[in-house]
Amino acid sequence: MKDVTYLSKIRIERLQGPDRLAYLPAEKEPVRFGVHGPVAEHYGLTADRLPEPHATTLDYVVAAAGG
């Protein structure tokens, strides 16, 4: 087996509820993950309980696959 070419070192910081910050290589600022729309509804988060809407981790996975 070949040597490992790349090891991604990240850190996730949980803020509140579904809100998280991801510290990613090559990014100066952390990336914020959260929930919005139907995903928030799925988890029972109503508008009064929902922090500011942010893209979900699923949104980023889909974008990465499309990129």
Are the beta carbons of 55 and 40 closer than 8 angstroms?
A: no
Per-residue pLDDT 10s for the chain (67 aa) are 689 999 999 999 999 888 999 999 999 999 999 999 889 888 888 777 777 889 999 999 999 999 7
Calpha distance 11→24 (Å, rounded)? 7
Q: Which residue ranges make up each domain of the chain?
A: 11-66
Looking up tokens 């696959």, which residue turns up? 65
Calpha distance 46→56 (Å, rounded)? 16
Strand ranges, E, within the chain: 11-16, 19-23, 31-33
Q: Is the pTM of this model over 0.75?
A: yes
